Amino acid sequence: MGMGAYLAALTDRQRYLSQEESVRANIACGQRSHLSDITELFGEYGVSDEVSECVVDCLTAEDNLAKYNFKKPKRRRA
């Protein structure tokens, strides 16, 4: 790997880490907005607010929502 490819890979990694941090911060701050969106959506199908809140808690637990929204690139991609 030449110097240019190394620098490109380094920049790509820094960009990924920055975006990942941003996504996690948005999810942490926006949990209430996700709750209202999911509650409204499930309410149309007769699901109670308590059950909807449990769904939001499960999605936001252990970074599940971040994993869904932001996939890590494959290590050996060209």
**pLDDT by 10-residue block (mean), the chain, 78 residues:** 82 86 76 74 89 80 68 64
Domain that includes residue 15, residue range: 3-69
Q: Please indicate, yes or no, if residue 8 is contained in any of the structural domains.
A: yes
**pLDDT number for residue 73:** 67
pTM of the model: 0.50
Give buried/exposed letters for 23-50 (b at 16+ CB in 10 A, else e): beeebeeeeeeebeebbeeeeeeeeeee
Q: Please indicate, yes or no, if residue 30 is contained in any of the structural domains.
A: yes
Q: Which two tokens stand for residue 39?
A: 């509650």
**pLDDT number for residue 68:** 67
Output the CA–CA distances (angstroms, integers) from residue 10 to 7, 14, 58, 77, in the order listed: 5, 6, 34, 14
d(CA 33, CA 18): 23
**pLDDT number for residue 65:** 67
d(CA 32, CA 30): 5
Q: Please indicate, yes or no, if residue 45 is contained in any of the structural domains.
A: yes
**pLDDT number for residue 69:** 64
Q: How many domains does the chain have?
A: 1
